[in-house]
Amino acid sequence: MSTNELIVYRDLMSDPLISDMSLLFTEGADRNTKLHALFYECVRKLLDFAGHYGFGGNLWHVYIAHLLVNCENTYSRAEELKGAVDGSVCNAVDYDMAIIKDLFNADLEELASKFGFKEPELITSYRTSEEESKVYNSRIRSRIMELTKRLEEGKTAEAFRESLRDFYREYGVGRFGLHKAFRIEEAGGQSAIVPITNITHVRFDDLVGYESQKQKIRDNTEAFLNGLPANNCLLFGDAGTGKSSCIKAIANEYFDRGLRIIEIYKHQFKDINAVISTIKSRNYRFILYMDDLSFENFETDYKYLKAVIEGGLERKPKNVLIYATSNRRHLVDERFSEREATDQVHARDNTEEKLSLYERFGVTVYFGGPSKDEFEDIVLNLAERKGLSIPKETLLTEANKWQLSHGSRSGRLAEQFVNHLLGIDGLKEGKQ
Structural domain boundaries in the chain: 3-178, 193-367, 372-431
Checking if the pLDDT of 296 tops 90, the result is: no
Give the whole-angstrom CA distance, residue 316 versus residue 225: 16
* The pLDDT of residue 122 is above 90: yes
Average pLDDT over residues 3-22: 92
Does the global pTM surpass 0.85?
no
Q: If you average pLDDT over residues 388-417, what whole number do you get?
A: 89
Q: Max CA-CA distance within the chain?
A: 88
Neighbours of 110 (CB within 10 A): 11
Give the per-residue pLDDT at 330. 61
Query: Any residues with CB less than 8 A from the CB of 302 and at least 6 apart, and which?
Result: 295, 331, 332, 354, 357
- Residue 347 has a pLDDT of 47
The pLDDT tens digits for 75-106 are 998 888 866 677 888 889 999 999 999 999 99
Least confident of 51-55, 307-311, 353-357: 353-357
pLDDT at 204: 92
Residue 235's nearest CA partner among 375, 57, 106, 363 is 363
| Whether pLDDT at 144 is above 80 | yes
For 200-238, the pLDDT digits (tens) are 888 998 888 899 999 999 999 999 999 999 999 999 988
Question: In the predicted model, what is the mean pLDDT of the chain?
Answer: 85
Those residues with Cβ within 8 angstroms of residue 68's Cβ, 6 or more apart along the chain or in another chain: 9, 100, 147, 164
What spatial distance separates the first Cα and last Cα of the chain, rounded to whole Å? 67
Give the closest residue to 106 by CA, choosing from 152, 143, 45. Answer: 152
What are the distances in angstroms from CA 121 to CA 40, 151, 288?
Answer: 14, 20, 45
How high is the pLDDT of residue 120?
A: 92
Antiparallel, parallel or unpaired: β 363-367 and 233-237: parallel
The letter for the amino acid at 247 is I
CATH class entry, domain 193-367: alpha beta
Give the DSSP per-residue string, 159-182.
Answer: HHHHHHHHHHHHH-SHHHHH-SEE
Per-residue model confidence as pLDDT tens digits over 22-47? 989 887 655 557 888 899 999 999 99
pLDDT in tens, 301-348: 666 677 677 655 556 789 999 999 988 766 555 544 555 555 554 445
Residues of 152-166 as b/e, b for ≥16 C-beta within 10 angstroms?
Answer: eebeebeebbebbbe
What backbone torsions phi and psi does residue 263 show, to the nearest 5 degrees? -85, 130
Residue 345's pLDDT is 46
Name the least confident of 6-15, 340-349, 398-407: 340-349
Residue 21 and residue 45 in contact, taking contact as beta carbons nearer than 8 Å = no
CB within 8 Å of 162: residues ≥ 6 apart = 154
Q: Which amino acid is at 421?
A: L
- pLDDT reported for residue 289: 95
